[in-house]
Chain A
């Protein structure tokens, strides 16, 4: 069973995840080390399909097709919108295991090493046709 675990951040000044730029260097280092360790653990358990971090939302653009299909980009976002900043694709035995991994990611260390307990959205990835029910 495949799942995507999505790590979101709020693009506002109060957001603790955004605040990472203001953390002391050792806290940043601990946070990044934790994420590297989590990926390593998932790779070694044979559960990791992929994991990616995304560029900062300030670099993001919203694109719509204009007349004749020309891209119209929009870089202005409403305040306190939530943004995807990273995700894991995992292949596990069931939802309970996906929740356990999400909880582990959620508790990544923040300032002073305290767990961030940030929200991780868990969504199952659609699969092929179901067994034929007779």
Chain B
């Protein structure tokens, strides 16, 4: 097998092996160290000597030896504790490789962790990214990321997280969704590492979908990622300038991803309850399947936003519903809905309320008010490319 082939295989096997080791020794850091050593041994030996008949068993055996060595070199008291835990671990019924990976992912996304910690630990332990790679992706120093990961392991140890898979995948899906967004909302030019995050999120979502094929929301999250990521190549210009959906060159969309996302969504339609990922994915699919912006099926999008508002209501959903209403019933209908949102403390000062209002005012022909709202939105946003976009809109209308 080639070196690249071995690397790929090792990345696939890492979470399975780590899951087994953690279950046995209940010490995240020690298990990770042992697995790292086993991976290093495999990466140096396998390309020359050939891959063993059962690579997973080989890795588990070597990592277990490393772990035992490590425990022996520890102090006597810690050793007694660790050995007792190891014995208890061995005595536990063997879990399938699937379950081990699932347990590991669920530990990494446990509710006791902060969002940033869960993301970092998932990318490290399940994704197999190096600490340096994760640090680069989040634009923080490597030492900061190392601390974040080590604290996350500590939190898991202290909180006594159960070493068993549960049916509730919601925290896992939420973490993967955030990893995807982090990559998708990364600055354009010059930060290629960050788009790696979307690829990694999709890879992990595929893994979770394969591990829990009966979980419809897991399948729908994967569909949502594929349907959104399909537009990646068209949503920014070379210099990082934002290109809004209605101005995107649809030939640049990844139609393979769109087809895959639509198929996944179709497979889950007759199953399970209506969920938020399903509705978001369905909205993305309606946009993706329109040949031009004018062909967009806005009545269907409006219906989907009304359903989303019932399933998981939040101010952003209400804002998007107002946009859809404006596209179906005209800008006045949308503006009237925005009026109802003015009293919402979560939205009152939010740039997105001003920018939606600006777009709808422009549609309604109220140029001056539109300019003012574009400027307000530009002053409020924390996204640099979005500020440039909003200022450009204000200038375009003002000088018309």
**Chain B associates with chain A:** yes
Give the residue of B144, B231, B382 whose beta carbon is less than 8 angstroms from that of A91: B144
With both chains docked as a complex, state the minimum distance between the C-beta of A90 and any C-beta of chain B, in angstroms: 9
Contact, CB under 8 Å: B185 / A127: yes
Nearest chain-A residue to B191 (Cβ)? Answer: A128
Stretch from B13-21, B80-88, B211-219, B384-392 that touches the partner: B384-392
Which residues of A from 87 to 113 have beta carbons under 8 Å from B?
A: 91-93
Give the residue of A2, A126, A132 whose beta carbon is less than 8 angstroms from that of B387: A126
Q: For B235, what are the chain A residues with a Cβ–Cβ distance below 8 Å?
A: 129, 132
- Which range holds the interface residue count of chain B? 35 or more
Contact, CB under 8 Å: A130 / B287: no
**Secondary structure dominating the interface of A:** loop
> What's the A-B contact tally at a CB cutoff of 8 Å?
91
Nearest chain-A residue to B138 (Cβ)? Answer: A91
With both chains docked as a complex, state the minimum distance between the C-beta of B133 and any C-beta of chain A, in angstroms: 16
With both chains docked as a complex, state the minimum distance between the C-beta of B250 and any C-beta of chain A, in angstroms: 14
Quick one: which of A44, A93, A129, A133 has the most chain B CB within 10 A?
A: A129
Given contacts A48-B144, A49-B144, is CB(A134)–CB(B185) below 8 Å? no
Q: For A131, what are the chain B residues with a Cβ–Cβ distance below 8 Å?
A: 181, 184-185
Contact, CB under 8 Å: B352 / A133: yes
Give the residue of B141, B147, B231 whose beta carbon is less than 8 angstroms from that of A44: B147
B325 at the interface (CB under 8 A from A): no
- Which range holds the interface residue count of chain A? 20 to 34
Per-residue CB contact flags for chain B residues 103-129 toward chain A (1 = under 8 Å, else 0) read 000000000001111001000000000
Nearest chain-B residue to A3 (Cβ)? Answer: B382
Which residues of B from 67 to 107 have beta carbons under 8 Å from A?
A: none
B337 at the interface (CB under 8 A from A): no
Give the residue of A48, A93, A130, A132 whose beta carbon is less than 8 angstroms from that of B114: A93
Cross-chain pairs A/B with CB under 8 angstroms, 5 sampled? A128-B187, A129-B186, A130-B381, A130-B383, A133-B352
A interface residues, Cβ below 8 angstroms from B: 2, 43-50, 91-93, 124-134
